[in-house]
């Protein structure tokens, strides 16, 4: 079989075909091109062009699969494929991917039938135990669902409705992603939750997440933002693509240091591709994400951890996901001297090399006001310790007290260093009002452009 049908939001978009040379092409259906509002499958695969060659097509579809090569090898063995190519694997696991795309064998329609196999806490706990023992066990031999997700760390996709958890069958969408953390980094699933919750508290647009228990196991449970629940209980896919897909890059280029996009490249993409009604908010959100990653010492904010949502002909930045502070899983010295960002901040990778002037320089690359971006940095460094403590209250009974204290101490050291040294020209050490974590953030008195700016409450940006 050398052809696969590709569907978008339940409509056939075109055909994925593999030639005798093994290279893969994609051809849009004419009917889809005439009806579909831009951009079709991707900004890198525009509908203005009917036929797209291997250089554009192969990386886009490859990015639908896990980054973990061992997972791909196991899937190939499980399905009897000689090679773990994207074409070979997606014919088996392409029914439920990121966004609204589905890749199916020829003449297999997406279908609308509901096929939900109920799973209880014991079933889910068993899957989580298997993942903790074996990070590549994304789908066991007995798994019913046929889904694929990008990323490196182990995860499973399930659905949830008013009756509980289920394993989607056939071609029904999953609604939640369950993660057990990074192998070798104890409690990294809890660290990811605390980072994401703290970012939401500080006003960033972040995917909803919770830590849930299943018997003796716990997992980070992320609500998929690319799914929508109708009142009748059915689930609709919303289309999205990550930045590697948008820019036509292979997953190996997700880090800027490996030839991937810079923050300026992504800001330019947002400037040229986001709907004018969403462009200012998308640029601001991306700039906030960059400065938050710097303040919180998040080393993994690479191109595959940013995505675009394509909704009703409008393109905008998707909510943030996969945020984890190095201050929670590394030593103080590692954070201070060794951690590098995934994208340069004002020309610098390493946290130890980034000063306030680099944030100002980055603002120009990010297409936002330098004073505003520094104000965000000041606000995050002031509000993050309390936001972390607030997030930890959600984990009572799930997190060891010593681990929780290490999270608090780690972020306090990181933000204290920023306020006391890196941002010392913009913040003055003095008592500050006690902020409500869920409310505005207090910004210390600081110097800006040679003039004194009084301490003030900074309201959160509306999302």
Cβ-contact 365, 345 below 8 angstroms? no
pLDDT, mean of residues 41-54: 96
pLDDT, mean of residues 78-85: 94
Label residue 427 by pLDDT band (50, 70, 90): low
Q: Are residues 190 and 249 in the same domain?
A: no
333 contacts: CB under 8 Å, gap ≥ 6: none
Q: Are residues 78 and 42 in the same domain?
A: yes
Q: Are residues 285 and 416 in the same domain?
A: yes
Q: Are residues 193 and 215 in the same domain?
A: yes
Q: Are residues 93 and 49 in the same domain?
A: yes
Burial of 162 (0-12, 13-18, 19+ CB in 10 A): exposed
Label residue 428 by pLDDT band (50, 70, 90): very low
In a domain, 399, yes or no: yes
Q: Is pLDDT of 373 > 90?
A: yes
Of the residues 229, 249, 272, which one is the last residue of a structural domain?
A: 229
Reported as a single tens digit per residue, the pLDDT across 377-423 is: 999 999 999 999 999 999 999 999 999 999 999 999 999 999 999 99
Of the residues 79, 105, 131, which one is the last residue of a structural domain?
A: 105
pLDDT, mean of residues 287-307: 98
DSSP code for 437: T
Domain count, the chain: 3
DSSP code for 99: T
| Structural domain span for residue 274 | 239-458
Label residue 111 by pLDDT band (50, 70, 90): low
Q: Are residues 72 and 164 in the same domain?
A: no
In a domain, 419, yes or no: yes
In a domain, 110, yes or no: no
In a domain, 131, yes or no: yes
pLDDT given for residue 312 in this prediction: 87
The SS3 of residue 174 is coil
In a domain, 463, yes or no: no
Q: Is pLDDT of 73 > 70?
A: yes
Which uninterrupted H or E stretch holds 96? none
Return the C-alpha torsion angle 333, 334, 338, 341, nearest 10.
-120
Least confident of 243-247, 309-313, 379-383, 423-427: 423-427
Q: Are residues 125 and 70 in the same domain?
A: no
Gap between the Cα atoms of 413 and 320, Å rounded: 25
In a domain, 356, yes or no: yes
The SS3 of residue 7 is strand
Of the residues 77, 105, 133, which one is the last residue of a structural domain?
A: 105
Q: Are residues 339 and 380 in the same domain?
A: yes
In a domain, 373, yes or no: yes
Cβ-contact 283, 366 below 8 angstroms? yes
Q: Are residues 292 and 406 in the same domain?
A: yes
Reported as a single tens digit per residue, the pLDDT across 13-27 is: 999 999 999 999 999
Specify the CATH number for the domain of residue 165.
3.30.200.120
Q: Are residues 125 and 99 in the same domain?
A: no
Which uninterrupted H or E stretch holds 29? none
pLDDT given for residue 315 in this prediction: 97
In a domain, 351, yes or no: yes
Gap between the Cα atoms of 342 and 458, Å rounded: 28
- Scored b (16 or more CB within 10 A) or e, 93-118 reads bbbbbbbbbbbbeeeeebeeeeebee
Specify the CATH number for the domain of residue 441.
1.10.1070
Cβ-contact 112, 7 below 8 angstroms? no
pLDDT given for residue 114 in this prediction: 60
Q: Are residues 441 and 315 in the same domain?
A: yes
Cβ-contact 395, 211 below 8 angstroms? yes
Report phi then psi at 161, rounded to 5: -135, -165
pLDDT given for residue 35 in this prediction: 84
Gap between the Cα atoms of 326 and 159, Å rounded: 30
Gap between the Cα atoms of 235 and 146, Å rounded: 16
Q: Are residues 194 and 94 in the same domain?
A: no
């Amino acid at each position: 079989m050398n052809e696969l049908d590709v569907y978008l939001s339940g409509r056939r978009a075109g055909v994925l075909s593999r030639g005798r040379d093994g290279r893969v092409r994609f051809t849009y259906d004419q009917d889809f091109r005439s009806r579909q509002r831009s951009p079709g499958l991707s900004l890198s695969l525009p509908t203005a062009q009917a036929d797209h060659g291997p250089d554009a097509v192969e990386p886009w579809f490859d990015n639908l699969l896990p980054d973990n090569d061992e997972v791909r090898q196991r899937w190939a063995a499980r399905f009897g494929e000689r090679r773990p190519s994207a074409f070979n694997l997606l014919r088996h696991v392409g029914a439920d991917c990121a966004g609204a795309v589905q890749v199916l064998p020829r003449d297999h329609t997406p279908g609308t039938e509901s096929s939900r196999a109920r799973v209880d806490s014991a079933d889910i706990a068993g899957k989580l135990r298997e993942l903790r023992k074996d990070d590549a066990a994304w789908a066991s031999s007995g798994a019913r669902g046929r889904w694929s997700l990008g990323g490196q760390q182990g995860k499973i996709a399930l659905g949830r409705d008013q009756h509980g958890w289920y394993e989607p069958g056939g071609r029904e969408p999953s609604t939640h992603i369950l993660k057990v953390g990074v192998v070798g980094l104890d409690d990294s699933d809890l660290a990811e939750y605390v980072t994401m919750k703290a970012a939401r508290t500080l006003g960033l647009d972040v995917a909803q997440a919770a830590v849930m228990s299943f018997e003796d196991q716990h997992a980070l449970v992320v609500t998929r933002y690319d799914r929508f629940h109708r009142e009748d209980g059915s689930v609709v896919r919303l289309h999205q693509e990550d930045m590697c897909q948008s820019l036509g890059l292979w997953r190996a280029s997700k880090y800027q240091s490996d030839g991937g996009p810079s923050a300026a490249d992504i800001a330019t993409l947002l400037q040229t591709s986001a709907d004018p009604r969403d462009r200012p908010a998308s640029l601001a959100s991306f700039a906030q994400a960059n400065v938050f990653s710097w303040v919180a010492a998040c080393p993994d904010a690479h191109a595959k951890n940013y995505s675009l949502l394509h909704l009703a002909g409008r393109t905008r930045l998707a909510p943030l996901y996969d945020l984890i502070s190095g201050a929670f899983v590394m030593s103080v010295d590692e954070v201070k001297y060794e951690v590098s960002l995934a994208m340069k901040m004002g020309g610098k990778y390493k946290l130890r090399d980034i000063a306030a002037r680099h944030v100002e320089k980055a603002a120009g690359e990010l297409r936002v006001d330098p004073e505003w971006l520094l104000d965000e940095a000041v606000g995050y460094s002031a509000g993050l310790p309390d936001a972390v403590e607030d997030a930890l209250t959600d984990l009572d009974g799930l997190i060891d007290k010593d681990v929780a204290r290490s999270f608090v101490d780690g972020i306090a050291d990181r933000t204290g260093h920023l306020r006391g040294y890196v941002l010392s020209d913009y913040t003055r050490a003095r008592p500050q009002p006690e902020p409500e974590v869920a409310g505005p953030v207090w910004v210390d008195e600081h110097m800006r452009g040679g003039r004194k700016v009084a301490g003030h409450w900074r309201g959160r940006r509306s999302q």
